[in-house]
Amino acid sequence: MTDNRFLLVLDEGTTSTRAILYSLTGDLVATSQEDITQHYPAPGLVEHDATEIWDRTLRCARAMVERAGGADHIEAIGVTNQRETVVAWDRSTGKPLCRAIVWQDRRTEEQCRALRDAGHEPSIQITTGLLLDPYFSATKMAWILKNVDGAAALGDRLAFGTVESWLVWNLTGGLHITDVSNASRTSLFPLTAQSWDEGLCDLFGVPRAALPEIVPSAGAFGLTKPEILGAAIPITGLAGDQQAATIGQGCFAHGQTKATLGTGAFVLANMGQTPPRSEHRLLGTVLCEVAGVRTFALEGSVFVAGSLVKWLRDSIGMLGNAAESEALARSVPDSGGVVVVPALSGLGAPYWLPDARGSITGLSFSTTRAHIIRASLESVANVFHDLARAFAADGAGWSVLRLDGGMSANDWLAQDIADVLAIPCERPVDVETTARGAAILAAIGAGAYASLEDAQTMVSSTQVFSPQMDARARNTRLGQWKAALGI
């Protein structure tokens, strides 16, 4: 390996897709990014165009290959993706059958409720670490089979996959794989298993033959078609975005915890080699599998974070741009009693109320736009406070929380989270740790490092936010939050 060779990461998120070029030692070299169109055909429904995802990801990837000096300078590719989003396509044509159903989509709540009422949730949680919620992939697949014309008739030609599966299929010309971290978000994969569970597939109504092969998070998975990027490049790293961010934050030891602030907010705590069993409605998930060792995580998934700011900007017109939110939050000493409950897509962990809806309470004639914006940002720390209690009750208390994701670049928000949690928060210099985690996995899969610990040098340095809020102010605010939740 030489100094002029690079790692190419494809980071396909909910609102944009990116290609990022890293050196083999973890230096960020260049980035290409394009937005992804959001489709909201009805309340609670969220869709993406899978063909658009592929086309825009490929355009970004080609820009980075050119920046590297050609495909011969790319050592390996890592792929990380929005999780739980389902793509269905015809193996013979490679064409999607319908729009991708996004992780935020709530259309399968009726099926989830029926399974809950039939008493299936406890056994599913024990086996997969997951709850019965529209968030996860299996009921989305079942919905496509029942509601998309021609899907059920395809038989062996039907392919299901999360977004990394779709990208790898297109990059390689037909390799149908998913890694263990993404598989663990489907409700079809037992945490300690090696392959899909026939009983779960039958329960949800998903044909096992339509599912991809499950592989580790790092390894030699396949080669890109030479005509795609100019040469055959090894694909050596795969992970769902939140697992990748946990790796990118250097959470390699038991108990180390990160929170990614993106479209949603996701807290993962490394739980080592023991599958977590939550008694407080958190999720057990596979963090990664590297060099034959499977590591698990405990997760709290918050459905709305950065998407709330986007909604305030695009739908309500309260913001000209997302960065303006920090200045507005600082312009008032507090929220003026305003509390925002960010349930625009229901409430995720630790509440799991899919039918909950957002609210703004505490309004008066003295309320200004700044108060509402500040209260919206405060909702992140308020939810995190409740999550922290659930993690602690499950034996995974936080002593330090590592923040990342685009929204964490807001200094006011990072300080507010530290204040409400009353613990230090660390933020890396490079907050885009999802892509960095995929780069680490790709580097290991390509043989540049033997293990996660060996790749520690690829982790970014951090800035620390120490708590400053007094206990009385914290308790007053959390009391207002609890009253607004009404639960």
Compute the half-sphere exposure of residue 311: CA atoms within 13 Å on the CB side of its CA.
17
State residue 379's pLDDT score.
95
Please say if the pLDDT value at position 1 is more than 80. no
pLDDT grade for 356, boundaries at 50, 70 and 90: confident
User: Which DSSP category does 2 fall into?
Assistant: -
Q: Report the amino acid identity of residue 439.
A: A
Model confidence, pTM: 0.88
Range 147-159 average pLDDT: 94
Please say if the pLDDT value at position 11 is more than 70. yes
State residue 355's pLDDT score.
81
| Position with higher pLDDT, 462 vs 150 | 150
State residue 44's pLDDT score.
87
Please say if the pLDDT value at position 464 is more than 70. yes
CATH 3.30.420.40 fits 6-241, yes or no: yes
Query: Exposed, middle or buried, 390 (CB in 10 Å: 0-12/13-18/19+)?
Result: buried
Torsion of CA 455, 60, 431, 296, to 10 degrees: -50
Ramachandran bin of 439, using left for φ above 0, alpha for ψ from -120 to 50, beta for the remaining angles: alpha
Alpha carbon 453 to its chain's center: 23
Report the 10 Å Cβ neighbour count for 373.
Answer: 25
pLDDT in tens, 192-242: 999 999 999 999 999 999 999 999 999 999 999 999 999 999 999 999 999
Range 264-270 average pLDDT: 92
Please say if the pLDDT value at position 2 is more than 50. no
pLDDT in tens, 291-340: 999 999 999 988 889 889 999 999 999 998 888 999 999 999 999 999 99
Beta strands in 256-409 (DSSP E): 257-261, 265-270, 283-290, 293-302, 339-341, 359-361, 401-404
State residue 301's pLDDT score.
84
pLDDT grade for 3, boundaries at 50, 70 and 90: low
Domains of the chain, by residue range, sit at: 6-241
Please say if the pLDDT value at position 454 is more than 80. yes
Compute the half-sphere exposure of residue 204: CA atoms within 13 Å on the CB side of its CA.
29
pLDDT grade for 351, boundaries at 50, 70 and 90: confident
| Mean pLDDT (the chain, rounded) | 93
pLDDT in tens, 368-422: 999 999 999 999 999 999 999 999 999 999 999 999 988 899 999 999 999 999 9
Please say if the pLDDT value at position 272 is more than 60. yes
Range 131-144 average pLDDT: 95
